[in-house]
Structure 1
Amino acid sequence: MSVSTTEEAATSPATGSIGWFRRNRPLLVVAAAFVVAVVLAYVAAPKGGESYPPYDPESPDPDGARALVEVLEDHGVEVDIVRSAKALAASEIGADTTVFVTGTDALGDDTASRLRERAGDASDLILAAPEPYVSAMLDIPYQVTQTSERVEAGCDEPRWKGLSIQADAVAAYDAGSCFGYEDGAVLAPADGLTVWGAPQVLTNEQIVRADNAAVALRLLGNGDHLVWYVPSFEDTSPGEGGSPASLLPRWIQPSLWILLLAVIALAVARGRRLGPLAVEPLPVHVRAGETTRSLGRLYRRAGDRAHAATTLRHAARTRLAQRLRLGRDATPEAVVRAVTHRTGRPETEISALLLDAPYSDGAGVETDHELITLANALAALEEEVRHP
Structure 2
Amino acid sequence: MARSVDQGSGAGGAVKAVGAMVFIIVMALVVLLVVRARPASEPYDPRSGQPDGARGLVLTLQDSGADVEDTRDVPGTDRVATERILVLEDRLDDEQRDAVLDFAEAGGVVVVADPDSTLHGGSDTDGGAVDVFGSSASAERRDPEQERNVAPGNCTIGALTDLRGVFVPNGVLFPVGPSEQQCFTDPTDGPDAASHSFVIVRQFGDGLILGLGDNDAFVNRSLRRADNAGLMVSLLVPTKGTDVAFVIGRGASPTVRDVGSGDDTLRDLVPTWAWMSLVLAAVAFVVFAISRSAREGRIVSEPVVTPIAGSELVSATGNLMQRARHASRAGWLLLSRLHRDLCHAHGVDVNAPLADLDRAVSERSGVAPGETEHLLRRTVSDDTSLVDLTAAIDRMRQQVFGDVTASERFRTDRSGSEPEPPTSLVSTDERVTTS
TM-score (norm 2): 0.38
TM-score (norm 1): 0.42
Q: Which has the higher helix share?
A: 1
In our comparison, the structure showing a higher alpha carbon Rg is 2
